[in-house]
């Protein structure tokens, strides 16, 4: 037996809006906010809300495999571009101006153009978490889209996906480790598997069938994780629990829908999920950097209490959400008014 054919039912129909995806994106951004906001207010990272990033990656891989495998390459990259860059450039410009205005910070042109392109996550450590810490995610998701574009016609071969995921994980770990780049080792390398796990899930649920071939590609792909885990001590700790959160939510949401309070919760997550990307881009500086700035520079409180900082977190989050709504709605209006048919409109289900 050299291969196993997997047949899965029921299938998910491509092109249809999936309410659970919006809800899960809302849950994911809630976890990320818990992580950043909790740290800003001095709380321990007990729940490891950074796992929300992995949920985003899984959902992104899932949506791409479900909807974009057969899309013309030009249309694929155009949709990815309009979904990622306009909101990102607005956030980048805003925080460059604010850091100059309020902190007097200046950056080199090398730093700025790398951030504009979104490749700072693969550059020197000095740029990795500069301007806004969370912007390293832009580099990772752009790289994931490029790799997906290269393999999207062969998604039926799950062995190939395992091989690509394993080899990229080892490559990222080796390169970041060689350059003593702790940011990439902690944030990027362990998360490669989350995106490709989502791709596999999207392929199985979208097409209902795939094939695992017992060949060299599968063997080497799995062997990569042996090398990563036991020789380098870099385990992919986020992927499995992120899938656990997703599956638990999918299983529980039918029960939540039976009750009015449950419907309120799912609706709230869904609404937040629609603007989750923009909230991700805007929230961190407001709940942390400018929270501290307000107390120290404006109120002249050198050591604000935890409760004061927590109040600042909620205020900063409110500002970030308001800006996110405006940016999301404005871009949506522009795409609807000037976009050519559906080509320039980002699909809501995509992360």
pLDDT at 338: 76
Q: Exposure pattern of 28-38 as b/e (b: 16+ CB <10 Å)?
A: bbbbbbbbbbb
Residues 347/67, Cβ–Cβ less than 8 Å: yes
Kindly report whether the global pTM for this prediction surpasses the value 0.95: no
Q: Bridge partners of 209?
A: 7
Query: DSSP letters of 328-342?
Result: HHHHHHHHHHHS-TT
pLDDT of the chain, 351 residues: tens digit per residue: 577 777 766 567 666 778 899 999 999 999 999 999 999 999 988 889 999 999 999 999 999 998 888 899 999 999 999 999 999 999 999 999 999 999 999 999 999 999 999 999 999 999 998 999 999 999 999 999 999 999 999 999 999 999 999 999 989 988 998 899 999 988 998 899 999 999 999 998 888 778 888 888 889 888 887 776 766 666 667 899 999 999 999 999 999 999 999 999 999 999 999 999 999 999 999 999 999 888 988 888 888 999 999 999 999 999 999 999 999 999 999 888 876 444 444 333 333
CA 84 to chain centre: 11
| Parent domain of 159 | 11-338
Q: Does the residue 344 lie in any domain?
A: no
Q: Does the residue 168 lie in any domain?
A: yes
pLDDT at 236: 65
pLDDT at 2: 75
* Rounded-to-integer distance, Cα 159 and Cα 199, Å: 12
pLDDT at 15: 65
C-alpha torsion angle, residues 288, 87, 17, 325 (rounded to 10): 60
Considering only CA atoms, give the Rg of the chain: 21
pLDDT at 29: 97
Structure tokens at 209: 């069938």
User: How many residues make up the chain in this entry?
Assistant: 351
Q: Does the residue 304 lie in any domain?
A: yes
Structure tokens at 141: 């998701």
Q: Does the residue 329 lie in any domain?
A: yes
As for how many domains the chain has, the answer is: 1
pLDDT at 342: 43
Q: Does the residue 6 lie in any domain?
A: no
Q: Does the residue 2 lie in any domain?
A: no
pLDDT at 173: 87
Q: Does the residue 254 lie in any domain?
A: yes
Q: Does the residue 202 lie in any domain?
A: yes
């Amino acid at each position: 037996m050299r291969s196993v054919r997997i047949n899965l039912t029921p299938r998910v129909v491509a092109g249809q809006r999936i309410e659970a995806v919006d809800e899960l994106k809302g849950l994911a951004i809630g976890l990320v906010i818990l992580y950043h906001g909790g740290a800003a207010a001095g709380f321990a990272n007990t729940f490891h809300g950074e796992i929300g990033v992995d949920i985003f990656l899984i959902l992104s891989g899932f949506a791409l495999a479900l909807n974009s495998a057969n899309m013309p390459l030009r249309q694929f990259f155009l949709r990815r571009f309009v979904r990622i860059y306009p909101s990102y450039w607005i956030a980048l410009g805003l925080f460059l101006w604010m850091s100059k205005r309020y902190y007097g910070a200046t950056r080199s042109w090398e730093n700025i153009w790398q951030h504009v392109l979104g490749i700072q996550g693969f550059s020197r450590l000095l740029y990795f978490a500069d301007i806004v810490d969370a912007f390293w995610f832009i580099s990772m998701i752009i790289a994931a889209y490029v790799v997906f574009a290269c393999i999207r016609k062969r998604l039926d071969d799950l062995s190939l996906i395992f091989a690509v995921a394993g080899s990229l994980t080892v490559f990222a770990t080796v390169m970041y480790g060689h350059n003593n780049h702790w940011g990439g080792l902690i944030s990027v390398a362990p998360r490669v598997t989350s995106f490709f796990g989502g791709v596999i899930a999207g392929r199985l649920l979208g097409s209902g069938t795939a094939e695992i071939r017992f060949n060299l590609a599968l063997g080497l792909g799995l062997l990569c994780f042996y090398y990563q885990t036991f020789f380098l001590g870099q385990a992919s700790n986020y992927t499995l629990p992120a899938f656990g959160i997703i599956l638990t939510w999918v299983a529980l949401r039918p029960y939540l829908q039976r009750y009015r309070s449950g419907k309120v919760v799912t609706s709230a997550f869904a609404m937040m999920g629609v603007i989750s990307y923009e909230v991700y881009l805007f929230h961190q500086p407001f709940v942390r950097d400018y929270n501290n700035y307000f107390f120290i520079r404006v109120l002249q409180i050198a050591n604000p209490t935890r409760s004061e900082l927590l109040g600042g977190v909620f205020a900063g989050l409110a500002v970030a959400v308001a800006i996110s709504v405006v940016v999301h709605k404005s871009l949506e209006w522009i795409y609807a008014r000037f976009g050519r048919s559906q080509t320039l409109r980002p699909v809501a289900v995509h992360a």
